[in-house]
Amino acid sequence: MNPAMGLSPHSSSASSTAAAPAAGGAGPQGVFITFEGIDGAGKSSHIESLAAALRAQGRNVVVTREPGGTPLAEKLRTLLLGDAMDPLTEALLAFAGRRDHLRCVIEPALARGDVVLCDRFTDATFAYQGAGRGFDTQVLSILERMVQATPGLPGDFIRNPDLTLWFDLPPAEAAVRLAGARAPDRFESQPEAFFARVADGYAARAASAPGRFVRLDARQERAAVWAQLAHALAERGYLTRAAA
Ligand SMILES: Nc1ncnc2c1ncn2[C@@H]1O[C@H](COP(=O)(O)OP(=O)(O)OP(=O)(O)O)[C@@H](O)[C@H]1O
Ligand SMILES: Cc1cn([C@H]2C[C@H](O)[C@@H](COP(=O)(O)O)O2)c(=O)[nH]c1=O
């Protein structure tokens, strides 16, 4: 457990887990936690509960999402979820929104020492555009490096989440949960085979960064999924055992 409660944990680079150099001095570093999984896996059901638990422990928490998180990126979200386009255009819109989101919301919050809880981030681009659409992941890696380089920090520092909570649910079960819940967007209306590829994409990302990813068995009932999540946070010192 980290007794500093995440005040100075690892903000990792793409190739290492070295701590992020603080921009303009040795100020506090926040904690960047992302929620990932196929549509309907249960991410949104837990993000506000985690924010409440962290706030109860005195942390400032920013809850945000991708695509979106800034006025500009929310406009790009509307395009991405609503308009037909090719996979490269999807990837470029996702990364354009991410750049604005990082510069305007995520980096300032982390520099203040806040906890950032983000519903989806770059792993979603690799899972949906890479594995789901079959787009070239080498191109995605180039965009990732360009977009996640942090202003004020050395050029080789790439902002990545400290922790990624991967809600792993079989596509057939996600489809049952989403059926009738709301009008499906352009991604939610994809066939089950698409989500099988997306799920494989998440598994591949998790295998490539095992220290960052925690797999949650999202088939369980809500309280049991929360228990897994809280345990993972407590193990890393981000939540006290009591809150978990
Ligand atoms: N553990 C669970 N067991 C059964 N149903 C659940 C569980 N968790 C969430 N649900 C339900 O499944 C549906 C999808 O949940 P939620 O919106 O949290 O998923 P999501 O991963 O955020 O989806 P999306 O990415 O599409 O926004 C909701 O109707 C929610 O009430
Ligand atoms: C970040 C990101 C997201 N997507 C897809 C994944 C989902 O289908 C939607 C977002 O909807 P949600 O209800 O907010 O989960 O967008 C994507 O294809 N690429 C991305 O980079």
Q: Is pLDDT above 60 for 3? A: no
Ligand 2 pocket member 64 (CB < 6 A):
no
Q: Taking the domain 31-243, which CATH number applies?
A: 3.40.50.300
**Ligand nearest 40 Cα, by number?**
1
Rounded Cα gap, residues 91 and 130, in angstroms? 9
Residue 187 Cβ inside 6 Å of ligand 2? The answer reads yes
| Ligand 2 midpoint to CA 120 (Å) | 7
Residue from 34, 35, 44 whose mutation best tests the ligand 1 pocket (most atoms within 8 A of CB): 44
**Maximum distance among all Cα pairs of the chain, rounded to whole angstroms:** 51
Distance 42 CA to ligand 1 centre (A): 3
Q: What is the mean pLDDT of residues 111-137?
A: 98
If you average pLDDT over every residue of the chain, what do you get? 89
CA 3 / ligand 1 centre spacing (Å): 33
* Matching residue, tokens 């191109």: 139
Annotated binding site: 37-44
Pairwise CA distance, residues 241 & 212, whole Å: 20
The tokens for 35 are 């929620």
Residue 17: the pLDDT is 31
| pLDDT for 29 | 73
Round to the nearest angstrom and report the end-to-end CA distance of the chain. Answer: 13
- The pTM score is 0.91
Q: What is the pLDDT of residues 140-189, one digit of tens each?
A: 999 999 999 986 777 688 999 999 999 999 999 999 999 877 789 999 99
User: Which atom of ligand 1 is closest in space to residue 225's alpha carbon?
Assistant: 1
Residue 213 Cα to ligand 1 middle (Å): 20
The confidence score (pLDDT) of residue 150 equals 80
pLDDT digits (tens, 9 = 90+) for 46-102: 999 999 999 999 999 999 999 999 999 999 999 999 999 999 999 999 999 999 999
The pLDDT score that the predictor gives to residue 71 is: 98
How many CB atoms are closer than 10 A to CB 188?
17
Q: What pLDDT is recorded for position 28?
A: 62
ipTM higher than the 0.95 cut: yes
pLDDT above 90 (res 202): yes
Buried b (16+ CB within 10 A) or exposed e, 196-223: bbbbebbbebbeeeeebbbbbebeeeee
Residues with CB under 6 Å of ligand 1 are: 37, 39-45, 177-178, 181, 221-222, 225
